[in-house]
A and B are shown apart, each in its own frame.
Chain A
Amino acid sequence: MIFKNHILRANEFIAERPKLQYYLPQALTLFFIVFVIGYFSFNAGVNMEDQGMETGFSFLGGEAQFDIQFHLIDYHGGMTYGRAYLVGLLNTILVAVLGIFFATILGVTIGIARLSTNFLVSRIAEWYVEMFRNIPLLLQLFFWYFAALRALPPPKESYIFFDFAILNIKGLYIPEFVWTNFNAFFYSILVSIVIVVLFIIWAKKIQERTGKQYRKFAISSGIIIIIPFLSIIIGGVGLEFIHPELKQISETIFNYEGGSKAIPELLALVVALAMYTSTFIAECVRAGIEGITKGQKEAAASIGLTPGQILRLVIIPQALRIIIPPTTNQYLNLTKNSSLAAAIAYPDIVLVFAGTALMQTGRAIEIISITMLSYLTLSITISILMNWYNKKMAIKEK
């Protein structure tokens, strides 16, 4: 009882002093945070001194001395840890971009299929979602990598698609693109994009002032096709394919050489990430389309819009508004989930840097911090991009 009285009195004491109410909890929180950080760094300092560990980021300049099986930029064991980090980061970005691309296509298709009037189509879409959403991603990854892709045929009996792509147990091969005068082509695309943007801004101004409408889509796509095409004719831009060829290495061993190759780890990762994430995107898409009331369509029809215009001007803009925020989260999740690569030895940033480089240098704190910061940067970049797009799509209340 005496104890309870004390608490009551303390409560009264605080309640009578609003300034204390404002500053005391904050001071306690800050004190707690400073204490925890201080305690951790003190211990880290002592521990590292005891074990004779060096600190600092100078190791990034040291020779890496390990090989990376798959790299987008030149790399070999004699290069620095910094270079190895860059290779890992680019591999992570590659997986994220490919995964987002395929997950979006698959997710939108499945999401629309779930709303199909065809009983079988909507049911299959529903089961696809329920099935792949409720199985851990790591398990799906293992299934694709250790079970499905291992069952592919050896190089000699590869599956060949349209004389273009070749799939076998060693991976997916596509022809290598060899450009001549690539710069001219690249700049022509840049120029055409700039022209299209300027044209759309100009057309919008004209429309707001006079009400006159241009066929924006047709004219823009015309510009995007014609200017690069001109560059091919005038600028001497050429494209050649180098097809991968089957070579006999020994009596029984065959292998494809030349061309661009996607290793099985990459394939498994992209397939698993795309299928897993597509189930969530499908749900977002379905919610978005279902979220638009019938009245919207009827109102649009009653003011005389054509079905195409209704879809383009009324339904899609509103549905996108519902779809984008949760889909952004799924893109972020996909990017973070790409770190599962480490479990099947795809050389992404976690495997190369937080795995191999950490084992070799022992710089746990520096390396884990750099890895985490890289992911934070990626996450923030994606959310800024998507927020910008979302803001463009949001209702402009005047």
Chain B
Amino acid sequence: MININKIYQWSRTNLFSNWYNSLLSLIIVFAFIKFIPPLLNWLFFDATFRGSSKAECYGDGACWIFIKVWFQKLIYGLYPENQVWRINLAFLILIFSVITSIFVKPTIRRYIIIFLIFVFPFLAIWLIGGFAIDIESLEIYIPILEEVDTRVWGGLSLTFIIAIFAMLFCFPIGIILALGRRSELPAIKYSSIVFIEFWRGVPLITVLFMASVMFPLFLPGDTNVDKLMRCVIGITLFEAAYMAEVVRGGLQALPRGQYDAAKSLGMGYWQMNALIILPQALKIVIPGIANTFIALFKDTPLILVVGLLEFLGMIKLAGANPDWLGFAVEGYVFAATVYWIFCFSMSRYSQRLEIRFSTERK
């Protein structure tokens, strides 16, 4: 009862403040009434959730059976089904260590972070790729985990593998490039500039083409670098150039006094950057770093142009299956939702971090 007046006041100022705002509001409300119910009907009320074949889809709604049947493949790609636990284990370790790092004391957290950065990536690759103890001179060959070729890796797990690796490596490379670009030594400065501007000037697709078609020509004939690895290297270098520009922004924002103060304490170049300059500079550019990571995550589907099938690639493959033609919309809506959830939460998390650090500075 009390609120009616408030609602009236609120809508008066926010919806109907003058004639064109009123008109706009009415048009929007009309559009909502016209388009939202059919959309909801298609998504949920008329949609088919139960069943296991295309024939069970009836009505005008979406056929979510399509997603259900292909779910395993969308997550794990063509990875052998009895080995899927290895991917699960790798990601469980990751999630577990991230969660524990939130709740433990800072002294222990440091070790967890070191583990995550220096040990976990290689552990995960061993787990997922498989390895064996192979000493040819002694003719010892003990397969510990069955080898799984990277060509069958795929789905959402591959998206994460690529994104995590590229993020992990593009960050330090970007910092070094940014420092290089601000260096007083001309040879280092100009080679960094050329490197950064080259990668920023070309599209990722040509980088991937280069990694898959041109790069093998540059290596000795008998070496065979895995295609997935070549693409990850390409993506890493590409994003590192963008990261370098973000970090450079932070470096430029620091006043000269910080450099002078560090030097007057007798610090050398590396000490000064590691202890004084970078901690402050990186804090300033948290939003930029997060945006680069989000961009990297959104760029991973591109690897399908060189024939690697991560999540979007698997959706496309599933939609092209002769038994499941005509479900492109369902597939893309599902993929869009998944990507959206991850990207949106990353951007919200970065905003939270930004707020936390900015209050610290006050």
Contact = CB atoms under 8 A, between A and B. Distances in A.
B218 A342 contact: no
B209 A354 contact: yes
A46 interface: yes
B328 A146 contact: yes
A343 B304 CA distance: 8
B206 A135 contact: no
B286 to A, nearest CB: 17
Contact of A142 (B13, B17, B29, B312): B312
A46 to B, nearest CB: 7
Contacts of A343: 302, 304-305
B191 to A, nearest CB: 6
Contact of B344 (A30, A134, A146, A354): A134
Given A46-B221, A120-B25, A142-B316, A26 B188 contact: yes
Contacts of B305: 342-343
Nearest to A15: B268
B298 A136 contact: yes
A33 B201 contact: no
B329 interface: yes
A130 B346 CA distance: 12
- A interface secondary structure, majority: helix
B351 to A, nearest CB: 12
Nearest to B188: A29
A262 to B, nearest CB: 22
Interface residues of B, number: 54
Interface string B206-234: 10011001101111110000000000000
A50 B21 CA distance: 73
B198 interface: yes
Interface stretch (A1-9, A237-245, A333-341): A333-341
Given A44-B217, A150-B328, A340 B302 contact: yes
B301 interface: yes
A121 B217 contact: no
B336 interface: yes
A43 B328 contact: no
A194 B177 CA distance: 46
Nearest to A359: B213
Interface string A1-25: 0000000000100010000001001
B203 A336 contact: yes
Contacts of A179: none
Interface in A366-389: 368, 371-372, 375-376, 379-380
B332 interface: yes
Residue with the highest number of chain A CB atoms closer than 10 Å, among B203, B214, B312, B319:
B203
A134 B28 contact: no
Nearest to B21: A118
A372 B21 contact: no
Main secondary structure of the interface of B (DSSP, over half): helix
A328 to B, nearest CB: 12
Interface string A322-365: 00000000000000111110110000001000100010000011
A40 interface: yes
Contacts of A43: 217-221
A131 interface: yes
B265 interface: no
B301 A119 contact: no
B262 interface: no
B191 A33 contact: yes
B328 A376 contact: no
B59 to A, nearest CB: 18
B9 to A, nearest CB: 13
A135 B344 CA distance: 9
Interface string B169-211: 0000000000000000111100100000010111111100110
A57 interface: no
Given A43-B218, A137-B298, A139-B335, A119 B15 contact: yes
A376 B202 contact: yes
Contacts of A337: 203
Nearest to B210: A368
B340 interface: yes
B319 A375 contact: no
A191 interface: no
A130 B294 CA distance: 13
Interface of A: 11, 15, 22, 25-27, 29-30, 33, 40-41, 43-44, 46-48, 50, 116-121, 124, 130-131, 133-140, 142-143, 146-147, 150, 336-340, 342-343, 350, 354, 358, 364-365, 368, 371-372, 375-376, 379-380
Given A26-B186, A136-B339, A350-B209, 11 more contacts: A15-B268, A22-B185, A29-B191, A119-B14, A135-B336, A135-B339, A136-B298, A139-B312, A336-B204, A343-B302, A354-B209
3 smallest A-B Cβ distances: which pairs?
A26-B187, A134-B343, A119-B14
Interface of B: 13-15, 17, 21, 24-25, 28-29, 185-188, 191, 198, 200-206, 209-210, 213-214, 216-221, 268, 294, 298-302, 304-305, 312, 316, 319, 328-329, 332, 335-336, 339-340, 343-344, 347
29 contacts: A25-B188, A30-B187, A44-B217, A47-B217, A48-B217, A117-B13, A120-B29, A134-B347, A135-B339, A136-B299, A138-B312, A139-B336, A142-B312, A142-B316, A142-B328, A147-B332, A337-B203, A338-B203, A339-B204, A342-B305, A343-B302, A354-B206, A358-B209, A364-B213, A368-B214, A372-B201, A372-B206, A376-B201, A379-B200
